[in-house]
Structure 1
Amino acid sequence: MFLINGIKQAVLPANDRAIQFGDGCFTTARIVEGKVCLLNAHVQRLQTACERLFIPFAQWAELEKEMAEQALGIDRGVLKVIISRGSGGRGYSAAGCLHPVRILSVSAYPAHYDRWRTEGIALALSPVRLGRNPHLAGIKHLNRLEQVLIRSHLEQTDADEALVLDSEGFITECCAANLFWRQGKDVFTPRLDQAGVDGLMRQFCLRQLAHSAFRVVEVQACEAALKDADEIVVCNALMPVVPVRQYGPHHFSSRELHLFLAPLCEQTR
């Protein structure tokens, strides 16, 4: 069951702009022992996205309270929060859309993440590339058709996650995660000012690495850069950090970066 504007229901008007145009934003949070991990950061992410999308959402106190309440009594789970611009306007015009809609739902925690953290994952290069758009880059808006196509292709392979490039051929992210790769003490992660999602766990990892023995650099790099890596890790708010054991013919056994980040990321609960 969904919680829509504070009411338990599963019905949304057909003219809601989330349906019509993907006009909204969302975040997905991990629930551990009845609490939403990184609750304040998830709310801030939604606030940033609403500002960027010019969505006049104002019920932040109610939303944060509902998020906390949805997690109560759940040992491990996933909380998804969507903010739609709501119904109204004509065509693409948002004129008159004064009542945004908040939608909350809880689902089971993906069991395979436990196995991934132990065994590592395999990456496959996706043929689907992300369009570059600096105004939308970084935020988690509802226009996810690129990710749907990436996932559709991934499911035709034996890999666990996809390596995704942007339309200029630069490494950007995975289908549902950000990534870092290490060479010695140098750690690299893609710049996300043109495409991709600036995930909360990515932001957390960057802060931890800034005060570590590693030197972290945000780069524009081509896919070939991964062939010289000693290690690759991927992350999102649910995993939260997973090692990559294989990319194409390249195998990675070192876990120096993963062993540094993993216990720190677990503290975000």
Structure 2
Amino acid sequence: MYWVNGVPSTSVTLNDRSFQYGDGCFTTMRVRGAQIEHWPYHKARMAAALECLKIAEPDWVTIESWLAVVLETMAQETHAIGGIKWHVSRGQGGRGYSPANVDTPCHTMSSFAYPSHYATWQQDGIALGVCQTPLSVNPYFAGHKHNNRLEQVLCKAELEQGPFADGITINVQNHVIETTMANLFWRVDDKVFTPALTSSGVAGVMRRCVMDALVALGQPMVEVYAPLSQLLCSDEVWLCNSLLGVAPVSRIGEKAYPIGKLTRTLQGILNP
């Protein structure tokens, strides 16, 4: 089901700036027990993205009241777990690219059932390909989940021609960044690594939760600019996003990886 500015609807106007220019940002949230998991982190990431894009920060009381309606609707369904996508556009109009005189952002929210195959990925792992479409480098937008997702669209189009459900993305500087839908972590000996996202990529909420959990476990971790060759030498690899949680990576290309003890520990902490 869909809501636009708190009202059930399935449409926005053709001059909406997200449709015209990708002018906005979004987040996807897991819902369990009629509650949004990690809501403070989602709120903080949206506030940071809106500030970066110079879109007016919303009245959070209003946003939470709209989300309460979505949650109430979801609670009437039979699914114990599901998701909400919250998408913000700068609004309607403006002359060309100019955002002048556009001062009313448009908020759309949608609810959906939890993907049934995620349980299999969480248990058995996911095999990854390597995408050939490179990610651009833009330190100003790095980390934020803005509405310009063409790179991910092209990467997904590549994957649909092969056997892999997801793929590793690499930027034009030949650094591993993430997969098309999740953040990456890997372990070598007693140290954990994750890509630094200061030039490319999305700093996901579950990535932050994994990093918090590693600190609590006393597990050393380093954010790195790493080539693919470094990732391929790992002892253990996992990926994460807010909806999937933590899932092991069982294979990258032709190379298999064991499902490690640390991955299972993190799943016990962070997965439903």
Tell me, yes or no, whether TM beats 0.5.
yes
Structure 1 outlier segments of 4+, above 4 Å: none
Give the partner amino acid of 2:251. Answer: Q
Flag the 1:63–1:249 CA change in 2: closer, same or farther, 3 A.
Answer: same
The question of 1:12 aligning with 2:12 is answered yes
Give the partner amino acid of 1:142. Answer: N
Deviates more, 1:222-231 or 1:39-48: 39-48
Residue 263 of structure 1 and its aligned partner are, at CA, apart by: 1.4
Residue 162 of structure 1 and its aligned partner are, at CA, apart by: 0.4
Q: Which aligned pairs between 1:82-101 and structure 2 lie closer than 5 A? A: 82-101=87-106
The answer to whether the Cα contact below 8 Å between 2:249 and 2:259 also exists between their aligned partners in 1 is no
Aligned counterparts of 1:37 and 1:211: Cα–Cα separation in 2: 19
The question of 1:163 aligning with 2:168 is answered yes
Aligned counterparts of 1:227 and 1:123: Cα–Cα separation in 2: 11
Which structure 1 segments of 5+ residues have no match? none
Residue 230 of structure 2: which of 220, 225, 228 is its match?
A: 225
Aligned counterparts of 1:184 and 1:250: Cα–Cα separation in 2: 18
Deviates more, 1:203-212 or 1:100-109: 203-212
Deviation string 1:111-163 (CA, Å, 9 cap, x unpaired) is: 11100011101010000111000110000000001111111111111112101
Deviation string 1:156-207 (CA, Å, 9 cap, x unpaired) is: 1111210110111100000000000001110000000000000000011111
Aligned counterparts of 2:216 and 2:31: Cα–Cα separation in 1: 27
The answer to whether the Cα contact below 8 Å between 1:34 and 1:71 also exists between their aligned partners in 2 is yes
Residue 251 of structure 1: which of 256, 261, 268 is its match?
A: 256
The answer to whether the Cα contact below 8 Å between 1:29 and 1:79 also exists between their aligned partners in 2 is yes
The question of 1:196 aligning with 2:201 is answered yes
The question of 1:32 aligning with 2:28 is answered no
Aligned counterparts of 2:217 and 2:34: Cα–Cα separation in 1: 31
The answer to whether the Cα contact below 8 Å between 1:164 and 1:175 also exists between their aligned partners in 2 is yes
Deviation string 1:220-248 (CA, Å, 9 cap, x unpaired) is: 00000122100100000011000011112
Aligned counterparts of 1:20 and 1:34: Cα–Cα separation in 2: 34
The answer to whether the Cα contact below 8 Å between 1:185 and 1:213 also exists between their aligned partners in 2 is no
Aligned with 2:152: secondary structure? helix
Which structure 2 segments of 5+ residues have no match? none
Aligned with 2:221: secondary structure? strand
Residue 42 of structure 1 and its aligned partner are, at CA, apart by: 1.2
Residue 254 of structure 1 and its aligned partner are, at CA, apart by: 3.8
The question of 1:66 aligning with 2:66 is answered yes
Give the partner amino acid of 1:138. Answer: G
Residue 208 of structure 1 and its aligned partner are, at CA, apart by: 1.4
Give the partner amino acid of 1:193. Answer: T
Deviates more, 1:1-10 or 1:100-109: 1-10
How much is the aligned-residue C-alpha RMSD, in angstroms? Answer: 1.2
Give the partner amino acid of 1:17. Answer: R
The sequence identity of aligned pairs, in percent, is 37
- TM-score, normalised by the number of residues in structure 1: 0.96
The question of 1:109 aligning with 2:114 is answered yes
Deviates more, 1:45-54 or 1:250-259: 250-259
Match of 2:49 in 1: 49
